[in-house]
Structure 1
Amino acid sequence: MSRQQDYKIQTVNTDTTVSFEPVRYDIWLSPQKDQVEVVIDKQSKYGKVSKKDTKKLLSILETP
């Protein structure tokens, strides 16, 4: 990506009885802020989120 990510999300294990490896997701907003692109850190996996799901995701991320 040509710039720093807009968001970082790290998974957290809340169940101490389960072995868990945290995963970090790097998230970029499109210039129109209507779609996000996601990269899973250290796995070289990339994807785009639909506009509908982007709207849902942003409503969660932007909640104070």
Structure 2
Amino acid sequence: MREILKDIDWENSVVNMAHPADYRFAFQFKNPEIKSKTVLYELWISPRKKKIELVIDTENKYAQIDKKKSAALFEILTGEKLSEPK
């Protein structure tokens, strides 16, 4: 999952989405000695369930992910296929 996120070309943009995020996730450091702010990712699924959009609100970052990476990221996050109904 981190590899997919690392390779994203983020846009610097403030976006107003039509509805709240479908999913939110963050990463925690395994080492409790590391002091770092948590980055909250917000994820929206496209209406046709082909792509996902991500926002890092605190950093004003936005990205729409291609179909292949969307499918991989969604399956890692949820354990389901992107095109399957919830």
Is TM (by shorter chain) over 0.5?
yes
> Which aligned runs of 4 or more in structure 1 are off by greater than 6 angstroms?
none
5+ long unaligned stretches in structure 1: none
Scaled by the length of structure 2, the TM-score of the pair is 0.67
Are residues 1:51 and 2:80 paired? Answer: no
Question: Per-residue deviation at 1:17?
Answer: 4.0
Scaled by the length of structure 1, the TM-score of the pair is 0.86
- Alignment RMSD (CA, Å): 1.5
Quick one: distance in 1 between partners of 2:74 and 2:54? 13
Letter in 2 for 1:20: S
Residue of structure 2 in register with 1:3 after alignment: 19
Structure with higher strand content? 1
Identity %: 31
SS in structure 1 of the partner of residue 75 of structure 2: helix
Structure with higher helix content? 2
Residue of structure 2 in register with 1:60 after alignment: 76
- Greater relative contact order structure (CA < 8 Å, 6+ sep): 2
SS in structure 2 of the partner of residue 42 of structure 1: helix
Q: How many residues align?
A: 64
